[in-house]
Amino acid sequence: MKRIACCLFALLTTANVFAQRNLTDIPDPDPAKELETFLVAEGFEVNLYASDPAIAKPIQMNFDAEGRLWVASSSVYPQIEPGQTADDKIVVLMDKDGDGVAETSRVFADGLLIPTGVLPGDGGVYVANSTELLHMRDTDGDGKADETRVVLSGFGTEDTHHILHTLRWGHDGNMYFNQSIYIHSHVETPYGVQRLDGGGIWRFRPETMQLDVLCKGFVNPWGHHFNRYGANFATDGAYMEGINYVFPGSVFVSSPNARRLLNGLNPGSPKHCGLEILSGGALPDDWQGNCITNDFRAHRVCRFILDEEGSGYSSRQGEELIKTSHVAFRPVDVKMGPDGAIYIADWYNPIIQHGEVDFRDERRDQTHGRIWRVTRKDMKPLQRQEIVGASEPELFELLTAQEEWVRLWAKLTLKARGADVVLPELEPWAANLDGNDPLYLQKKLEVLWIYQNLDIPNEPLLSELLVCDDHNIRAAAVRVLSQWSDRLAQPLDMLEVAVTDAHPRVRLEAVCGLAKLNSLDATQTALLALDYPMDRFLDFALWSTLNDLAPAWLPKAVKGEVAIEKSPEKWLYAFAAVESGEVVAPALALLSAPNVADGARRQTLDLAAQRGNPEQLRRLLDIVLDETSAADAERRAELLNTLSSAFEKRKVKPAGDLTPVGELLDAHSDAVAIAAANAVGQWQVAELRDELAALANAESASVQAAALNALAQLKAKADLTALADKAESAQLRQAATAALVGVAPKEAAQRTVTLLAAAKPAAAGELLAPFLARKGGQATLAAALADAKLSGDVAKMAIRAVRSSPQPEEGLIAALGKSGGVGQGEAKAWTDEELAAIAKAIPGGDPARGELIFRRTELSCTKCHSIGPAGGLVGPNLISLGASAQPDYVVESLLRPSAKLKENYNSQILLLDDGRVISGIPVRKTAEELFLRDAEDKEIAVPIEAIEEQKEGQSLMPAGAVDQLTTEEIVDLAAFLAQLGKVGPYAISPAPIVRRWDALEMTPEGNGRLNRTSSDTASTDDAALTWNSRYSKVDGTLPLDELPQLQPHRISPHLSFVRFNLNVAKAGKITLDFGDVTGLKLWDGEKPKPIEKRMTFDWPAGEKRITLEIDRDARQAPVKVEVIEAESTGRAEPIGGK
């Protein structure tokens, strides 16, 4: 069985017990010494606002209207000891003299159990206390809580760093809070039990007790905030997507049973905790609206710059606000203060792992913590605005302050005073606003939000803003409309205007709002969005809304009460959105309707193939079989494959006689023949065995494989045996033997032993693969090896293949060792002393050599792991490994890959009902399918009904994967990994550098094609050319010595060809820096252009490709390409991934 070594799969997945017990890098906890290590963004400076003993272990913080900083802290985390009294605290800090340092520290509440959120409001403070949301008040004025009320309960507590957290007030007067992946909450409210399984963001109205879910998903979302117009953004402390754009109904990674997911704005970005969106007069203009969040693993406070993009946003990383090599700096929360400064909560701990490190590890820091304050050197701190004692008109004037803290608390203060006090003053103030004021519309939006805080709809004001000139304000007004929809006279009419708005974000908010109206009219209105350009956010929102509205429209569509023929494309979109098979009948009716476009007919056939009953599938099959139909070969093959898939997933096949499919086995198209063979096998059309046996002799290896697989599904032992014994081609005999494994395993095993005896060592793994992938296969092959004699090298390679399989069986390993007269290939058993010696040697290792070892093809590290935005997805991203893990941990993970495995990277072994064994890392699960990522980094969909048994497996990194390295090489490799993410040359730059490339492989077909044509062919998608992924080094350069070389003509230079793709999010001029262009030629798409050091391309939005030819005789320097954003009017991002 072919397996990738995945040399580092265990990194970040193997538990850190070995590492932490050998942890020696315990820094001096003096804050001054920590501060000395900070590298701060140009123009900024940092001072210590508060530290232990005034505070310890801060988790979340929020300022109140008086400028006091409330901090939730926990020394009990990660778990209370048996018999221990919970004594975690809420601490209040105050800087009375405005010098940027807190003079007073007061414990407001103690006796809490791991409080993970604190939010002042409603005369006290809300606290997330494990399974409960509490409200605590000081009623006697002594500064300490003496009244505690349980506001909500029933939140899950499965994991202490996933429990209820990240409390925040919204501009709308609602409270928002988060929970994470392992939490299952069932919260009782006056409106019924509200549930959220897994991660997500809740929305809560304390005065009415209305609770609902804003969005679902995420792994550990410890950051959530709003921009100036109320758009939501989130960060995730355990998933690598950077900034996430959130809107009502959005669903992200890890949401249980989710059928669709949204991705974040920065794929491959490190994990982040906390989120603040900057505002105010104490910061430069180019920092306004930027996101600040914390890469706590790599000791960084990061900056992201948001830009509008279609119905959503794009995000790009800027320079870090703070970075340091101090191993205990762990920024976990960030807030802007009343003085315009940026405040950072530093958890302060050299150990951050939670589930992997002993809860009682004595090196866990339980006593320290800091709050850092960051200010601009050339800008004065702001004078704190008086809010609590301000009059209503004074508070109204504060609504257009630059500072979000001022605007928020002005609204919350007005909310607390109540409508009877506020409205008599607000109405004349709003009526007298100057329409020529540049801030007129912003003031009107703030007034609208005051009404929302007071929970009193103002339809005239809402109607005015829905048609104003500013699309951001229109979108914000639509969000208000959605929340007021059950109290407005004609919400559908208002949303119809919005869903046809000129700006896509307004349309997105309208589509989300329509989900609440539950009517056929709302569905038809939502579908109007399809009259305008769609993007990924709008597409998801519309898909989600159509699912929410399905009870209102689906029964009527099925009964024929909807004139779908008038808008066939729109209704087919709706049909495709839902899972119901009832949509097939009305969809098929479109085939006989006049004036239905070809695209709609194609959608109809696809939908029917995916969801149809036997009679409906028969209708499709007849279309495929009809030689007079308009379907071309590619389309016939596509439909046949979909029909086969229906049987695999739903056990449904076309009704009637299926033998006519045999006519397609003789098709001139390989694609059609392969699809027909798959169908014959899936549908068990035994009458076509002879035709399949004949097809197995086809010239195409792909056609042969399909025919053999179908014969195996038909249990055609005689046919497969004949092919295994008598086929002219040795390759076909071997393939037939492999197919025979599932039909007659003993016979197949005997033939395989014969093949092994004559095989070359490199072929051993391929010969064993069918047995390793079937239940009982290894034991059967072991029995057949009883008296066999193999060459030593073949036996060694076979043993290596077995040990790399999901369930290596010692019986087969012993049989192979005996037959070849060799040992059993055990991985080296590294002792603790050996690991400790290697870890101790890491400081003397060479990380530069280690990076080259990491990139070796035979280790396959890059096939399993990314470092930043490019690389494999099987194992964790290693971008900040060195900054988050101790060297001992790195060593143990390399040499003991399956010692222990972390949640989310446990492999699963599945036994299917056809005898196959499949293993991989779970990616997601729906009601119908489980998706795994296998060791080849391929995503596999497995029907739930086909799984007979499921159990946890070992690491996908085989034991002994790095045993081939010398000790010096292991030290170098560990030295490289231990530097990743640390300040210095092995930290991934936030600059938009091309990191994922395709390289043209040297094949006879490819070299010949260039010989017969020209180098221009390399810029096309010519089928004769084979391209494979390559990745830049951490510094962004692509080494030439790792690239294949071609020589199309005997007298021509040796050439390499690479290409990369860019996503142009915003049309305009894009400048690329190629550095040294010696020996390079360039194609923009398929158009050759003279290359220069810096080139500017005028590109529309969309994906663009650049191809480079490298003259290897003229150039030795590596290649590096960067997008120069400062010189670009458009916006482009290099595409990463695998």
Separation in Å, CA 1040 to CA 1026, 1111, 1116: 18, 10, 7
Q: Domain check: are 263 and 133 in the same one? A: yes
412-424: pLDDT as tens digits: 999 999 999 999 9
Among candidate residues 618, 599, 595, the one with its CA nearest the CA of residue 608 = 618
Mean pLDDT value of segment 493-521: 98
Q: Report the distance separating Cα 12 and Cα 960, nearest Å.
A: 18
Closest of 613, 520, 604, 532 to residue 563, by C-alpha: 520
Read off the pLDDT band of 158 (50, 70, 90): confident
For residue 589, being part of any structural domain is answered with no
Tokens describing residue 700: 């195409």
Instruction: Provide the terminal-to-terminal Cα distance of the chain, rounded to the nearest Å.
Output: 22
In 515-669, alpha helices (H): 520-527, 536-548, 550-558, 568-577, 584-588, 598-611, 614-625, 633-650
Residue 631 pLDDT: 64
SS3 (DSSP) at 592: helix
User: To 10 degrees, the CA torsion angle through 610, 615, 616, 622?
Assistant: 100
Decide if 350 contacts 9 (C-beta within 8 A): no
CB 997 within 8 A of CB 1059: yes
- Mean pLDDT score, 1089-1116: 97
Residues 220, 254: Cα–Cα separation, whole Å = 10
Give the CB-side neighbour count of residue 512, counting CA atoms within 13 A: 28
pTM confidence score? 0.88
Question: Beta-carbon neighbour count of residue 1044 at 10 Å?
Answer: 18
| Residue that the structure tokens 């010189």 belong to | 1127
pLDDT at 17 over 70: no
Report if residue 725 sits inside a domain.
no
- Quote the tokens at residue 684: 């068990």
Q: Is residue 278 part of a domain?
A: yes
Average pLDDT over residues 513-533: 98
Mean pLDDT across the stretch 783-809? Answer: 91
- My answer on whether 544 and 437 are in the same domain is yes
Residue 588 lies in a domain: no
Nearest-Å Rg of the Cα atoms of the chain is 32
DSSP category for residue 384:
P
The C-alpha atoms of residue 994 and residue 1105 are separated, in whole angstroms, by 12
pLDDT top residue among 594 and 1113: 1113
Query: How many domains does the chain contain in total?
Result: 3
Range with the largest mean pLDDT of 31-40, 84-93, 881-890, 909-918: 31-40
Domain that holds residue 477: 424-552
Helix (H, G, I), strand (E, B) or coil at 587: helix
Q: Are residues 216 and 315 located together in one domain of the fold?
A: yes
- Closest by alpha carbon to 374, among 302, 271, 307, 269? 302
What the block records as the tokens of 90 is 């809420």
Tell which of 376, 396, 415 closes a domain.
376
Q: Which of 116, 51, 20 is nearest to 350 (CA)?
A: 20
Torsions phi, psi for 591 (to 5 deg)? -65, -30
Rounded mean pLDDT, 627-631: 65
> Which of 404, 332, 429 lies closest to 57 in space, CA to CA?
332
Do residues 293 and 320 lie in contact, with contact meaning Cβ atoms separated by under 8 Å? no
For residue 4, what pLDDT band results from cuts at 50, 70 and 90?
A: very low
The answer to whether residues 1075 and 1044 touch, using CB atoms and an 8 Å cutoff, is no
Residue 396, Ramachandran bin (φ over 0: left; ψ between -120 and 50: alpha; else beta): alpha
Task: Specify the pLDDT at position 16.
Answer: 38
Q: What is the CATH number of the domain that holds 317?
A: 2.120.10.30
- Work out the average pLDDT over 650-654: 93
Domain CATH number, residue 510: 1.25.10.10
| CA 547 centroid distance within chain | 23
**Largest distance between two CA atoms of the chain:** 100
Q: How confident is the model at residue 958 (pLDDT cuts 50, 70, 90)?
A: low
Does residue 23 register a pLDDT over 80?
no
- Identify the burial level of 711 via C-beta atoms within 10 angstroms of its C-beta, where 0-12 means exposed, 13-18 middle and 19 or more buried: buried
> Has residue 66 been placed in a domain?
yes
Binned at pLDDT 50, 70 and 90, residue 903 comes out as: low
Q: Is residue 769 domain-resident?
A: no
**717 within domain boundaries:** no
Q: Name 223's bridge partners.
A: 235
866 beta partners: 871
CATH code, domain carrying 1053: 2.60.120
Q: Is the pLDDT of residue 492 over 60?
A: yes
| pLDDT value, residue 633 | 86
Q: What is the pLDDT of residue 1?
A: 37
Lowest-confidence region among 252-256, 359-363, 666-670: 359-363
What is the per-residue pLDDT across 102-115, written as a single tens digit (0 to 9) for each?
999 999 999 999 99
The contacts of residue 331 (CB under 8 Å, 6+ apart) are 273, 274, 294, 296, 299, 300, 301, 322, 344, 345, 346, 347, 372
Q: What would the pLDDT profile of 166-193 be if each residue is shown by its tens digit?
A: 999 999 999 999 999 999 999 999 999 9
The DSSP result for 810-869, as a single string, is HHHHHHHHHHHT----PPP---HHHHHHHHHHGGGS-HHHHHHHHT-TTTTHHHH-BSSS
What is the predicted pLDDT for the residue at 648? 87
- Residue 260's pLDDT is what? 94
Q: How many residues does the chain have?
A: 1138
What pLDDT, on the 0 to 100 scale, is given for residue 1134? Answer: 96
5 pLDDT tier (thresholds 50, 70, 90):
very low
What is the structure's pLDDT at 353?
63
How far is the C-alpha of 76 from the C-alpha of 83, rounded, in Å? 12
Residue where one domain finishes, among candidates 527, 552, 577: 552
Claim to verify: residue 347 and residue 432 sit in the same structural domain? no
Angle at 684 between CA 680 and CA 687, to 5 degrees: 75
Q: Name which of 318, 244, 309, 303 is nearest 1130 in CA terms.
A: 309
Tell me what pLDDT residue 2 has.
38
> Are 443 and 342 within one domain?
no
Mean pLDDT in residue range 7-11: 44
The arithmetic mean of pLDDT across residues 788-816, rounded, is 91
Does residue 228 share a domain with residue 170?
yes
Q: How far, in Å, CA of 955 to CA of 342, rounded?
A: 42
Does 430 lie in the same domain as 360?
A: no
In one letter, which amino acid is 388? V
Average pLDDT score, the chain: 91
Judge whether 871 lies within some domain.
no
Angle (deg, nearest 10), helices 967-979 and 832-841 = 60
676-693: average pLDDT: 96
Average pLDDT, integer, range 380-398: 95
Residue 94: what residue type? M
Whether 363 and 467 map to the same domain: the answer is no
> For residue 121, what are the CA distances in angstroms to 118, 133, 167, 408?
10, 13, 11, 12
- State the virtual CA torsion across 559, 565, 571, 576 in degrees, nearest 10: 80
1030 and 1128 in a single domain? The answer is yes
Q: What's the whole-number mean pLDDT along residues 799-818?
A: 90
Provide the pLDDT for residue 357.
55
Contact 266, 1137 (CB under 8 A): no
Say which residue the tokens 């790095």 belong to: 962
Same structural domain, 135 and 73: yes
Domain end residue (candidates: 532, 552, 572): 552
Q: Return the top range by mean pLDDT from 235-249, 592-606, 927-941.
A: 235-249
- In a shared domain, residues 442 and 365: no
Q: Which residues, 6+ apart, have CB-to-CB distance to 28 below 8 Å?
A: none
Q: Does residue 428 share a domain with residue 341?
A: no
